[in-house]
Structure formats: structure tokens, C-alpha cells
Amino acid sequence: AYVAAQSDGNLFVIDLSPLSGTTAQQADSVNCRYVDRGRKNYGHTLTVRDGYLYLNSANDQGCQIFDLWKNPWDPQLLSNSYQGSQRDCHDSLPRNNVQVPGLGSRNLLFSADGNTGSFRILDITDLGSGVSPQLLGESPAQGW
């Protein structure tokens, strides 16, 4: 399991396999192994999809995107969704095979940015090839 902890918290990786037994567990009866992967003051929420972890922030670094394929216990940072003033990537939703006019089928990252009240759409199709996410569109969002 992957856990993001806001404010002074970090990104944690937790082994839940001891909970998979056939007998019921008692409170605090199993010590699950966990690893603190750092990212202090970064995690707000996270999203896991198709071998990638999107660590959503409450600061100006956008979503940090990690590769879970090579080593799920020590995910490697691939990219930030974007950087810049007031681009916090408060929450995100990745979707694959979305038909985009003029571009065909693309993998997209939808990002809600709380600092500016913006909604952004990024192309993450070539993320595994080392290509940074490309901003496709941005719109003001209201109603938070």
C-alpha cells in the first residue's frame, strides 16, 4: 500500500501481505513492514494507476510521478507534472486511451489545482519514455 501524509508527513510504502492469512487478525497482532520514502511536506493525496504513482502536493511542484514497475518498494521519480508559481496539483486523475481531437488516443492526467482554482489536462502518453507531461489545456474551476 502507498500512503501520503500531508504537512510534516512523507510517502510511505507498507507491506500488507501479513494480513492475507486465513485466520482473523487481532488488533495490533501483526507488524507490517513499512518504508518511509521521504518527500517531506509534499504528499497531500496520491493516485496509483497502471504502474505509476502520482503524488499530489499542496505546494508549487505539481504532481510528482513515480515508476512502480521497476521497484515498487523504492519507486523512482520520473517527472513532475509541471512546476511554477501556484501550480499545486491538489488532486489528480489519470485516464488512458482518451480520444483527443487532432491527437488521437492519448493518456491524460486531469489535475485540480487549489491555489489558483484551475483545472488542467496534461498528456502523459510518453511518460515511460522519459517525456515530461505536456499541458494540453487549462481552465478556471469554481465551486471548491
- Higher-pLDDT residue of 144, 110: 110
SS3 sequence of 76-104: EEEEECCCCCCCCCCEEEEEEEEEECCCE
pLDDT score at 9:
66
Summarize pLDDT for 92-143 with one digit per residue, the tens. 899 999 999 999 999 999 988 877 788 889 999 998 888 888 999 988 876 5
- Please report, as a single letter, which amino acid is at residue 24: A
What confidence score (pLDDT) does residue 33 get?
A: 77
Instruction: Give the total number of structural domains in the chain.
Output: 1
- pLDDT tens digits for 3-59? 887 766 688 888 888 777 777 766 666 667 777 776 666 777 889 999 999 988 756
On whether residue 46 sits in a domain, the answer given is: yes
Asked if residue 113 belongs to a domain, the reply is yes
| Residue 26 in domain | no
Rounded to whole angstroms, how far apart are CA atoms 144 and 137?
20
CA distance 39 to 55: 9
What's the rounded Cα separation, in Å, for the pair 72 and 76? 9
Q: Does residue 82 lie within any of the structural domains?
A: yes
Residue 24 falls inside a structural domain? no
pLDDT of residue 123: 94
For the CA atoms of 115, 65, 4, 58, the dihedral, rounded to the nearest 10 degrees, stands at -10
Place of cell 500512503: 3
- Collect all residues with Cβ–Cβ distance below 8 Å to 99 and sequence separation of at least 6: 105, 106
Domain extent, residue 121, equals 2-17+32-140
Calculate ∠ Cα 90-93-98, nearest 5°: 140
pLDDT digits (tens, 9 = 90+) for 58-105: 566 778 889 999 999 988 888 877 665 566 788 889 999 999 999 999
Closest residue by Cα to residue 43 from 84, 77, 97, 89? 89
